[in-house]
Amino acid sequence: MTPYEFESAKRQDSENFLERIFAYCDEQVFKGEERKVAFELAMKCEAKTWVQSHLGKSFEMIVEAFKMRFVLLDMIIRNTIKHTFHIKDIRNVS
């Protein structure tokens, strides 16, 4: 295996890992789990050191990526509810 093939395989593996974690988080959130719980459950699926070594990023950067995803997920859910029920102020809906 050439160095290029190795890096390509590692990158693909990392992307698959993130997709698995994101999918698991989304699944937990839609099941009604709190975001913090969903994140903790997802991270228990894989070791923290694996994340750092395979992605070459700090754990804190991964946490930030998850936070951003939850913000986007919130926006999608809120917009869906708003458009579905024609609610003007979604903040009053829980």
Radius of gyration of the chain (CA): 17
Question: In this predicted model, what pLDDT tens digit does every residue of 39-61 receive, in sequence order?
Answer: 666 666 554 555 555 555 565 66
The tokens describing 42, both together, are: 């997802």
* Mean pLDDT value across residues 30-42: 67
Q: Are 76 and 36 in contact (CB under 8 A)?
A: no
* Mean pLDDT value across residues 31-46: 64
Please list, in sequence order, all residues whose beta carbon lies within 8 angstroms of the beta carbon of residue 35, skipping any fewer than 6 positions away: 25, 29, 70
The tokens describing 67, both together, are: 């936070």
| pTM of the complete model | 0.33
